[in-house]
Amino acid sequence: MKILIASDSHGRSDLLYKAFDTEKPDMVIHLGDLEDNRDIVERELGSPRIPCLFIKGNCDYDSEGKLLRSSVFTLKNHRFFCTHGHLYSVNYNLNGLMYEAKDNDCDIVLFGHIHRPVNEFMDLPFGAGKIHVINPGSIAYPRGGSVKSYMTMNLKDDGAYDIELKTL
């Protein structure tokens, strides 16, 4: 299956639709700061035919409580921890984020917020193992010398996967 991973669109849902049309994914994960009407965006992305997960970012006003602060789920033997990142001070370091993933038995963490891509296997302190730390960058407002980006994850039935960084 192919998962479209995007974040920090900050109202530029047109760019999400563009990535969606290009990739034709089986699932969409948005890691926060959508700053748009989730229901409308979900419909545009083909939900419920295509499952869409929307995480709440620090800029998302969510009066109806429809957005999740974080989500943990299992797909093809991998445990995913998805969150925006501001609750874990990710601009300073990724320790809090990695411990939260570890506490939830996750081997993959997806986050946003910093507006630049990350795709690294990082060591937990004290030899507690590795976490695959993934950030697709911002699809609309890149920072730190990065460009507008998102990622795709191709996940096979046997659990093998690869991550691709795509630029707009």
β-strand partners of 134: 110, 119
Which residue has tokens 């545009």? 44
Q: Is 132 helix (H, G, I), strand (E, B) or coil?
A: strand
User: Which of residues 8 and 23 has its CB atom nearest to Mn ion in the complex?
Assistant: 8
Contact, 16 vs 6, CB < 8 A?
yes
* Least distance to Mn ion, CB of residue 154, Å: 26
The token pair at 14 is 């047109």
* Least distance to Mn ion, CB of residue 35, Å: 8
* Least distance to Mn ion, CB of residue 71, Å: 18
Among residues 3, 4, 6, 8, the one that binds Mn ion under rule CB under 5 A? 8
Residue nearest to Mn ion (CB): 33
Among residues 23, 33, 36, 100, the one that binds Mn ion under rule CB under 5 A? 33
**Which residues of the chain form contacts with Mn ion (CB under 5 A)?**
8, 33
